[in-house]
């Protein structure tokens, strides 16, 4: 019972940074909001003392105060100083819309428009919203990411100013679904109409791209789907029908006699290896194992090397069964179409196992191995158990 409780407590920590639950849609960030915030931070700096002399950096002179670092073209604030950006660093102090340098990813996404909680887009980014036009100015939000790992959230406004456009906005730096820093920028960029029109066109193309989404995560296991055959399409191929030339780039391979006139064909790539079962003529190979050991590729339901146990536990159905203290095994779910198990080992490692029965009677298992003090995913293996 204690192990079951421990597992649930671990999973609860992840959900503090889960994807947003959309309620009333908040308004897009405005030019007045950003410039007002920018000016108020500069006024606060003018009434404060720098902690030490300004230091020259690649971003300009860094003027360090107890609440922020200002990057400018001069080592002091005067009427002629051009400020490029302000890095807000105050602890336990909200900056805008209830967000702070210690907010969660969920809290930030919930404070601005977000078209879909699954964050549709590409592997590297998602347009959260896109409003306006080059004729009136544009407003948008964008998440830059590395797969399931959000890295930066940027909310920008391109406002018409004279013959060009001002570029201003707020940038949140993300680490492990927590905000690490907030940067406010207000640039008189002088971008032309053609440049902003091109940007707007690119944003529209990105908005239309929905090839990649964030995995659904929930603390309530009954809300999640059991592993199914749809999950066997991952890393750019379908496990059930893949041929050798469907896999990522091969680095080396070898043939191994199976002892019954059939052959096993092992193929190794960068951070992965696969095994095909072929006939006596080394033809008609059927994929029987695919293992991921590097973080270049994602497995079923976007699991990836380096994930926490809690992150992956909360992507699949769980909570239907019981925890057996003797075997340290929890039955996550089990029926005629497949099963899920969580197993803790005495050495501090753990594994998640998911079986799925295919339409042609094959039984395919995904095995996720976790190691280290923080139980991070170290290997993803999908293999055929039987037919």
Q: According to the model, what pLDDT value does residue 158 have? A: 95
Compute how many other C-beta atoms are within 10 angstroms of the C-beta atom of residue 209: 14
Instruction: Give the pLDDT score at 283.
Output: 94
CB-based contact 384:360 (threshold 8 Å): no
**Tokens read off for 74:** 């001069």
Question: What confidence category does residue 386 fall into, taking pLDDT thresholds of 50, 70 and 90?
Answer: low
Among 15-29, 159-173, 261-275, the range scoring the smallest mean pLDDT is 15-29
The per-residue pLDDT for 259 is 87
Does the pLDDT at position 384 exceed 90? yes
The arithmetic mean of pLDDT across residues 122-136, rounded, is 97
240 vs 19, higher pLDDT: 240
Residue 363 near residue 384, CB atoms below 8 Å:
yes
CA distance 253 to 274: 9
Sign of the dihedral defined by the CA atoms of residues 132, 133, 139, 140, in that order: positive
Mean pLDDT estimate for the chain: 91
Structural domains of the chain ordered from first start: 19-208 (no CATH), 221-386 (2.60.460)
pLDDT > 70? residue 3: no
* Residue 304 in this model has a pLDDT that exceeds 50: yes
The average pLDDT across 323-327 equals 92
């Amino acid at each position: 019972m204690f192990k079951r409780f421990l597992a649930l407590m671990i999973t609860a920590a992840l959900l503090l940074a889960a994807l947003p639950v959309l309620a009333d849609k908040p308004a897009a960030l405005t030019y007045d909001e950003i410039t007002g915030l920018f000016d108020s931070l500069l006024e606060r700096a003018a009434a404060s003392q720098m902690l030490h002399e300004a230091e020259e950096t690649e971003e300009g002179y860094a003027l360090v105060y107890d609440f922020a670092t200002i990057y400018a073209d001069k080592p002091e604030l005067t009427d002629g100083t051009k400020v490029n950006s302000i890095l807000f660093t105050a602890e336990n102090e909200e900056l805008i819309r209830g967000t702070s340098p210690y907010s969660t990813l969920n809290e930030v996404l919930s404070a601005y428009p977000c078209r879909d909680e699954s964050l549709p887009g590409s592997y590297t980014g998602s347009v959260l919203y896109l409003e306006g036009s080059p004729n009136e100015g544009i407003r948008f939000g964008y998440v830059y990411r590395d797969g399931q790992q959000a890295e930066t959230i940027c909310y920008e406004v391109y406002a018409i100013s004279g013959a060009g456009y001002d570029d201003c906005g707020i940038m949140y730096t993300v680490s492990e679904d927590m905000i690490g820093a907030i940067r406010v920028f207000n640039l008189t960029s002088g971008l032309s109409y053609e440049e902003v029109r091109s940007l707007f066109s690119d944003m529209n193309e990105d908005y239309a791209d929905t090839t990649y989404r964030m995995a659904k995560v929930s603390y309530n296991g009954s809300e999640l789907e059991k592993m199914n055959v749809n999950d066997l399409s991952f890393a750019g191929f379908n496990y059930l029908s893949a041929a050798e030339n469907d896999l990522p780039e091969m680095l080396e391979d070898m043939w191994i006699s199976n002892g019954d006139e059939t052959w096993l064909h092992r193929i190794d790539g960068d951070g992965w290896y696969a095994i095909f079962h072929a006939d006596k003529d080394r033809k008609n190979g059927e994929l029987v194992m695919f293992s991921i050991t590097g973080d270049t590729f994602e497995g079923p339901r976007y699991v990836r090397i380096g994930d926490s146990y809690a992150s992956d536990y909360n992507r699949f159905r769980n909570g239907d069964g019981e925890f057996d203290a003797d075997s340290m095994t929890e039955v996550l779910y089990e029926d005629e179409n497949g099963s899920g198990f969580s197993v803790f080992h005495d050495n501090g490692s753990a594994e998640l196992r998911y079986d799925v029965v295919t339409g042609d009677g094959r039984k395919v298992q995904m095995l996720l191995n976790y190691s280290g003090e923080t139980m991070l995913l170290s290997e993803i293996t999908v293999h055929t158990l039987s037919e």
